Structure 1
Amino acid sequence: MTTAAALVFSTAAFAQVDPTSTPSAPTETSAPVDTPEPVPTSEPAQQQAQNNVTGVLYADKNGNEQQDPGEAISGGKITLFGSPKHETTSDANGRFGFAGIAPGTYNLAYELQDGWVVHRAKNTGDMITVTANVTTEIVARAERPYSEQFDVTASLDRTSYEYPGSVKITTTLTNRTSRRIANINSECNRGRVEHALGVSQEWYLQMGLSLEPGQQRTFTVVEKVPQAALTSGVVTLNCDFAPNVNWNTDGPTVRAEAKVVGGIGYSMVLGEDKNADQRIDAGEAVSGAKVLLLDLRTGAQVAERTSGADGKADFTGLKAGQYRAVLGGSWEFTDESQQLVTVTEQAGAVTKFLKRAAPPSLSGVIKLDKPRYESHEVVRADVTITNNGGKTAERFRLMDGFYDLDLGYPSPWGDVRRDGPGVRIPAGESRTFSVTGKIRGFTGGKLRVWGSVDHIGVPEFGNPVFSAEAEVVQTNGDLGGVVYIDRNHNRQQDPGEEAADVLVEANGGVPYSYFKTTTDANGRYSFKNVPSGNYWVGYTPAGGWVVHSEGDQEIRVLPGTPVQLTARAERPYTEALKATLVLDKSVYSIGEEATITVTLSNRAAYEVGHIHAACDRAGYGQLGSVPMTEGWGDLRDKGVTLAAGETKTIIVKEKVPAAARWQNRVVAACDFAPWAAWNLDVVSAYDWASVPGGTGSLAGPLAYDRNKNSVVDPGEAIGNTRVFLMTDREYGGIVAETFSDAEGNVRFDGVPAGDYWSVVDGPWKSEGEWGGHHLIIADQLQRTAFFVVPGPAPALPEDVGDAHRDEQTVGSSTGGRSTGGALAKTGASVLGLGVLAVLLIALGLGARAAGRRKTT
């Protein structure tokens, strides 16, 4: 389907989303929908009039996607999820209704007998919007589970693999029905294990396929053996299939597994030396013993094996180094020295002697330092964990439920935090862990905290659970202050600088509260008898003046002495500062050092200090992301000071991050201001450079959404029509082009990652400022909808030359419309500009060939 630059783009293996073949269920309208025949209701007329959500539930037994006589479902349970939740059942005619539903958005769920299922056809589930004074009508079409409609088989080409190596997966799907099944996708590795298959880009690109009645389709995918399979010893394939598979879980599943060997080998022979002759004789081998290898430094588990009938536990794929071996269950080593495991570059084997031991058994106690607190006080909690078992508890971590206490960041639990390395607690010993925190919530006059133990051999959030509580008495205090306009910038209030009628807002306290007031003629304000605790106070002066934050400053209200604040308003930083930012190159590679030249100018008649940089606020992992590297110098910590009228240039050096590959570009986008992370009136600067190499895919339906419901309804798809991807909607070059299939499906593969605009050949155009804009991310398939409206045929770029213009024009079907002058897909001549545009992007030029872009 796709024509693009040679050696850059590939052709899609299967058709993608077919929005016209499977209707959305349920369907929402603002008036009752038509049904084949009137369906009476057993509801009284008065009750029916009160219903503002009504519907019909039927089983589509003949698969014609409409309700026929005898298909109504009675006794079906319908749940309307919202606040609150509503439930009802369908009557003998399949009718149901909900009365008095407040306007808002709700989700519907159905529980039916005999295996019938109402499938979800939208990624958002079955969402409906209830509008005041409008009856929302639902038609819920039930069908047989997808596991009865189509079959899936999958096989691996071998029963054992070596690492490094590849696995060939062959998957076959068969449609058992007499109707088309569209947009079948898979969800693999729901358990998120690291040694799983079916998670590669190649696998993902096969999804979204359709099956005609009775059709069988087979595809093969080659994936690399995951490195984690060395540790586990197996590689697995575990996938569910269904249209809209994230919501519909009743589809067929496939399971496959193979052994994995390779890397450094290490074997343990485990036995119980009953006759104390320092060897394992007949009958002394221990089978079924679980052995875990832990990283000596972090305590993280790196491998797990279970001994066989011969007492042997074989490990493969280990890195050379030292590990600590831990036994699960009721076995332990006869002495702790046997826990040390040394793995060298050569394969090795060792004998380990075991003895019986009772498993670890942990209990916990929480002790609060007081039985009664005032709500502003700091609480100390001591958690004592005791091992009452017969062997050491390995990698103990505390699963804490201290939600009513503000323990701060980072976690004060240290190594025993939820994601920490854990600690060892030997048999018969106890460990005490202490934390302090301010009360941030309590219920019914009580502070409640709890904990649960986690260690090797018990699941996370396993037993036992232990808790403590204390009484909390509400306390209050006063918060007030003054606001002034620092017109002469001397950082002190002078006569005539009082700020009257300033809106002051205070948020915080325990329990959380919100208050607002305005300053008086002297710029003063006060909040009396508010709940004690931490507060954030904001100010809104008139005339564009701003009260700036000077970092993370705690405002804490306590009983007794009132808190008095002084708020200095000044002109916005945007009036004083100017910033530019320039990268030293137009093209980089991942890991290459980029030099960023930052120029800051102070246009004001006063000094501006503590200027910081806040970069990559969107969190894309680009230059300057948190935590900032040392290369940012004073812009990171101390801050830069500019005298009145002064300009400074700061040279920043940072390596190009791996995240730049996602969009084939590295971005430096920063805000500059005193305490930039805490203030909004910042000046921004931006520059970018190409990082070539990554490619992605883009797919979705081409359609004219006549009813503006953001769904491709029957008759809206535009088939057999050419679609271009361009670097700019008006002035860009053509990077790739393809044709929609007969059902309107469009797909681009192997497109260099970046920003593009889609343009449709023929009397169509995209609507809105961002209509037709697409972001292609490396190694990902982006799903979208190419929605267009009637409009003038697009003009080809002037620099295309005659390669396109001289082609023979053809008329192609566009959902009942003729493209008239649509370009013929004739082959080589079409590739002329595509090759040029792709090469520009691949070489890091692209749109930058017209000049470097900076924002100041």
Structure 2
Amino acid sequence: MAPAAATGHIAGVVYVDRNGNRKQDQDEAASDVGLMITGNGAEHRTTTDADGEFSFRDLAPGAYKATYHLDDQWTVHVVNVDGDPIKVEPNKTAQVVARGERPYAEQFSVTGSLDRDSYRMPATATVTLAFTNYTNNKISNIRARCDHKSSPKALGRGKNWNALTTNGVSLAPGERRTITVDEEVPEGAGRAGIVTLDCTFAPNPDLNLGLWTRATAKVTSSTNYAMVVGEDKNADDLIGPDEAVSGVTVVLLNEQTGFRASEGTSGTDGRIEFFNVGAGTYRAVVLGPWGLRDAGQERVVVTGQGGFGHVFLKQASPADVRASIKLDKQRYDAHETVGLELTITNVGGRTAEQVGLRSMLTEIDVPEEQWGDFRWSNRAGIRLAAGESRTFDVSGRIETLVDGRLVIAGEVGYLGQPDNDDGRFHAEAEVVETRGVITGVVYTDKNGNGQQDEGEAAPGVLVEAAGGATHGYHETTTDANGAFTFVDVSSGAYWLTYQLADDWIVHDEANPEQVWVGPAAPTRLTVRADRPYSELIEATMTFGKDTYMIGETAEVTITLKNVSDRRLSGVQARCNPLGHQDQLGGGYRKVTPEGWGDLRQEAAGVALGPGESKTVTVTEPVPAHARFKQRVAVGCSFAPNAKDNTDGPWALDIASVLVGVGAVQGRLAHDRNKNGVVDRGEALTGVRVLLLTDREYGLQVADTVSGTDGTVRFDRMPTGDFWAGVDGVWKFEGESGRVEVKLDEVAQRDFFVVPNPRAQPPGTGSTGSTGGGALAKTGASVLGLGVVAVLLVVFGFGARVAGRRTRP
């Protein structure tokens, strides 16, 4: 018999630091504090005694995270970036001192403001941050966590923020300090028409609740579609100066998806500018008391060069959507299914756009598919013509009661909805409480065959059940046969959890976390406990390269091995659980990117036979936020149903991110059909391509040879405008050879060339300029003249100056 694995222990004390001297004094012990530690796929709970002391015994070695629940908003702040893990070692006791302090909102304040109400691109915003320390103690390492939703229109990502995002600010007792940060307004703000400052401040703000500061300003950028709106009073199909209408808001909706693309409001001349609207077809929606005179004018086509149009208006009442709800009964038993009809009617004078539920109904369990496009998660919603009504017949079981009654309340929203129109609907019904029984057996599947065998019963398991229409909580312990029963519990949905010894885990894909209870028959459960997936699966993960650039597509090779003797299905990745913006794989409240294929939590997962290994390569662009730490990371656990099963093996890797330079990547091709796309047979292989500082007399900065599929790439380039040239029988036409290199980005573009009639066939020994025949093969490359050009640019002479020389 194998010897039992050595375990470790945790012992500690919790106190509230009332006098702020950072040590425990008399009467500061925090008694009766509930606390929980998590680690190695398990949770452990206890409560502090009268002296504020606690302990956990016989823990598997590893790192544990502690959570404390103190009264009166006292908080144990997390000091370390890694989350203050408690390290448990075999045959040792880890000592913990948890100091409770007041929330940071009571210790200091911070306000943020922008120097302007509006910016015109390109622009630089000056952010002013004012800090005040209200305490008699020094507060150290206050850092900023900005743009927490990765919004492309938000500030807080520039290099000038490093002092706030990396080093932190320290405030002396009672100190007031003002800090200014200059940052270029991001391109995304130009597309959105608004720039935002949205930051939280705290020591270790990723894990501690900090202080929010927000500010916004309008942004105007390069216009690629413009519209003049007016009332054609003299019916001459023109908009004269006295016919323009100001203050009219028009929204462009993508014709295919229904989502908002841009929005603008007319000025005194009736002109509306829409910024950075992509080429495509849109539907123009006029808000307020005006409508389109002609229905055909709602269709707006934006080309690659933008566009312009006149729109004739007429007075029209706006859309006005009303909602009413009707239940199929006035009285229900708590276990019954509720049927309801929700009727929406547009009593206004124009079509209502993006009509839908504003939030999910939580009182009854209605599957989203019953709502269709009207569901709350579909922001495109539905269209509802003037005078049109639609009725949705849905049903679901009761989840929540209010004072013993079913109270269904919700809201309907639509585009342009006035602030005083909340679109609410409301219905109530009596509910008769019914009761039922939950019974089951818990076993440990030691041989992994998916069924209970002799000797596998799990006694002494803590089983917790929370839910029911009355939201009750129940707990019990399994008997010697692994059996448990909850008698006379309120009908409804229950969530069950199980705490087993020796790291056995009840996985969610085999045992539903939510069960329904009714009076007709007991809800019977057979609960299978398994070993942690970290014992069943081995995982490794490596980046394809050591160094990347912002926006470049990173390849990550993941190898998974099933070290058990049974088949594992549906293995997925759970990455970046804290939602760090410099990590790959999605993460907290983010969808796993498409490039992760079958490992996405939205996909079917990967199947592994007994002892089988599989290698999967996933792809994802390097995020912009990686420039701040100059690295990109990927860290994931792997398990079936990885969203809920967090006990899978972890794998991680880190790659450097090159900043301060740029890169260019694309394909070299002859666009025979002039469609702007590299079609089959158009890529050119083995052609030497150079980047020059000037089209005619430029200094060579770099060169390369197109690959088998026409691939061309230039790395470690200085930023600025360059010109491409080619060797041989090809040439660039007009502006097609212009190349823009952006800071910290990989510019993706294709290089289209045409035959050069002035060039002689290969082998004749003829050479020529970039505008005529073949390029002179001087031997210069990024290791020769290219280095000179780079240095000249770096030291401020600019790419064009670096290449300038006297014409012959």
Q: Normalization by structure 2: what TM-score?
A: 0.56
Task: Quote the offset at 1:238 in angstroms.
Answer: 11
2:517 to 529, 554, 557: 557
Ranges in structure 1 where 5+ consecutive residues have no aligned partner: 1-24, 34-51, 53-101, 109-120, 128-140, 176-180, 696-777, 780-856
Task: Quote the offset at 1:439 in angstroms.
Answer: 1.2
- CA distance change for structure 1 residues 221 and 567 in 2, over 3 Å: closer, same or farther? closer
Alignment-derived partner of residue 230 in structure 2: 271
- CA distance change for structure 1 residues 29 and 435 in 2, over 3 Å: closer, same or farther? farther
Distance in 1 of aligned mates of 2:641 and 2:211: 48
Alignment-derived partner of residue 653 in structure 2: 688
Deviations 1:93-125 (A, max 9, x none): xxxxxxxxx9833489xxxxxxxxxxxx98612
1:490-569 correspondence runs (5 A): 492=451, 502-520=461-479, 522-539=481-498, 549-551=508-510, 553=512, 555-568=515-528
Alignment-derived partner of residue 480 in structure 1: 439
Deviations 1:159-184 (A, max 9, x none): 974x4x34375979999xxxxx9999
Deviations 1:198-256 (A, max 9, x none): 54424535765999x99999967351453433563x7799999999999999x9x9998
Task: Quote the offset at 1:261 in angstroms.
Answer: 4.3
Alignment-derived partner of residue 322 in structure 2: 363
Task: Quote the offset at 1:574 in angstroms.
Answer: 6.8
1:317 to 272, 276, 286: 276
Alignment-derived partner of residue 189 in structure 2: 228
2:632–2:657 Cα contact (<8 Å) kept: yes
Match of 2:227, as an amino acid?
A: S
- CA distance change for structure 1 residues 228 and 562 in 2, over 3 Å: closer, same or farther? same
Distance in 2 of aligned mates of 1:186 and 1:375: 50
Alignment-derived partner of residue 204 in structure 1: 161
Match of 1:690, as an amino acid?
A: A
Identical-pair percentage: 30
* Higher normalized contact order (CA 8 Å, seq sep 6+, divided by chain length): 1
1:362–1:389 Cα contact (<8 Å) kept: yes
Distance in 2 of aligned mates of 1:193 and 1:683: 27
1:601 to 559, 563, 583: 563
1:631–1:654 Cα contact (<8 Å) kept: no
Alignment-derived partner of residue 791 in structure 2: none
2:360–2:376 Cα contact (<8 Å) kept: no
Distance in 2 of aligned mates of 1:326 and 1:224: 29
More displaced 10-residue stretch of structure 1: 318-327 or 412-421: 412-421
Distance in 2 of aligned mates of 1:264 and 1:485: 65
Match of 1:299, as an amino acid?
A: G
Distance in 2 of aligned mates of 1:460 and 1:361: 12
2:543–2:556 Cα contact (<8 Å) kept: yes
1:152–1:174 Cα contact (<8 Å) kept: no
Alignment-derived partner of residue 262 in structure 1: 222
- CA distance change for structure 1 residues 611 and 188 in 2, over 3 Å: closer, same or farther? closer
Distance in 2 of aligned mates of 1:218 and 1:679: 44
1:610–1:675 Cα contact (<8 Å) kept: no
Match of 1:406, as an amino acid?
A: D
Match of 1:654, as an amino acid?
A: V
Alignment-derived partner of residue 467 in structure 1: 426
1:300 to 259, 268, 286: 259
1:791-806 correspondence runs (5 A): none
Alignment-derived partner of residue 71 in structure 1: none
Alignment-derived partner of residue 853 in structure 1: none
1:413–1:433 Cα contact (<8 Å) kept: no
1:197–1:223 Cα contact (<8 Å) kept: no
- Secondary structure of 1:125's partner? helix
Distance in 1 of aligned mates of 2:508 and 2:491: 22
Task: Quote the offset at 1:469 in angstroms.
Answer: 1.1
Distance in 2 of aligned mates of 1:575 and 1:206: 39
Match of 2:289, as an amino acid?
A: S
Alignment-derived partner of residue 751 in structure 2: none
1:114-125 correspondence runs (5 A): 124-125=104-105
- Secondary structure of 1:221's partner? strand
Alignment-derived partner of residue 616 in structure 2: 652
Task: Quote the offset at 1:196 in angstroms.
Answer: 6.9
1:122–1:244 Cα contact (<8 Å) kept: no
Match of 1:422, as an amino acid?
A: G
Deviations 1:471-521 (A, max 9, x none): 111111122234456666665556666655554443332223333334455
2:592–2:600 Cα contact (<8 Å) kept: no
- CA distance change for structure 1 residues 308 and 611 in 2, over 3 Å: closer, same or farther? closer
Distance in 2 of aligned mates of 1:635 and 1:350: 42
1:391–1:427 Cα contact (<8 Å) kept: yes
Alignment-derived partner of residue 637 in structure 2: 670
Alignment-derived partner of residue 72 in structure 2: 105
Distance in 1 of aligned mates of 2:543 and 2:191: 43
Q: 1:591 and 2:549 equivalent?
A: no
Distance in 2 of aligned mates of 1:265 and 1:610: 51
- CA distance change for structure 1 residues 201 and 564 in 2, over 3 Å: closer, same or farther? same
Match of 2:615, as an amino acid?
A: I
Distance in 1 of aligned mates of 2:547 and 2:450: 45
Q: 1:167 and 2:167 equivalent?
A: no
- Secondary structure of 1:427's partner? coil
Task: Quote the offset at 1:287 in angstroms.
Answer: 3.0
1:612–1:635 Cα contact (<8 Å) kept: no
Deviations 1:648-704 (A, max 9, x none): 2211110145359376243344345x6666557x56252424233369xxxxxxxxx
2:253–2:283 Cα contact (<8 Å) kept: yes
Distance in 1 of aligned mates of 2:198 and 2:602: 49
- CA distance change for structure 1 residues 494 and 227 in 2, over 3 Å: closer, same or farther? closer
2:539–2:650 Cα contact (<8 Å) kept: yes
- Secondary structure of 2:657's partner? coil
Task: Quote the offset at 1:366 in angstroms.
Answer: 1.0
1:578–1:683 Cα contact (<8 Å) kept: yes
2:247–2:267 Cα contact (<8 Å) kept: yes
Deviations 1:108-150 (A, max 9, x none): 9xxxxxxxxxxxx9861227xxxxxxxxxxxxx9xxx999xxx
Match of 2:524, as an amino acid?
A: Q
Distance in 2 of aligned mates of 1:434 and 1:350: 42
2:243 to 284, 289, 299: 284
1:107–1:125 Cα contact (<8 Å) kept: no
1:586–1:689 Cα contact (<8 Å) kept: no
Deviations 1:702-732 (A, max 9, x none): xxxxxxxxxxxxxxxxxxxxxxxxxxxxxxx
1:46-125 correspondence runs (5 A): 104-106=71-73, 124-125=104-105
Match of 2:104, as an amino acid?
A: T
Match of 2:523, as an amino acid?
A: V
Deviations 1:428-466 (A, max 9, x none): 111223433221110122111122232232257843422
Distance in 2 of aligned mates of 1:443 and 1:543: 41
1:813-852 correspondence runs (5 A): none
Task: Quote the offset at 1:468 in angstroms.
Answer: 0.8
Task: Quote the offset at 1:421 in angstroms.
Answer: 0.9
Match of 1:429, as an amino acid?
A: E
Deviations 1:597-616 (A, max 9, x none): 333323xxx54543734432
- CA distance change for structure 1 residues 271 and 256 in 2, over 3 Å: closer, same or farther? closer
- CA distance change for structure 1 residues 684 and 398 in 2, over 3 Å: closer, same or farther? closer
Ranges in structure 2 where 5+ consecutive residues have no aligned partner: 1-16, 31-68, 76-100, 133-137, 661-743, 746-808
Task: Quote the offset at 1:624 in angstroms.
Answer: 8.6
- CA distance change for structure 1 residues 390 and 631 in 2, over 3 Å: closer, same or farther? closer
2:349 to 379, 390, 411: 390
- Secondary structure of 1:479's partner? strand
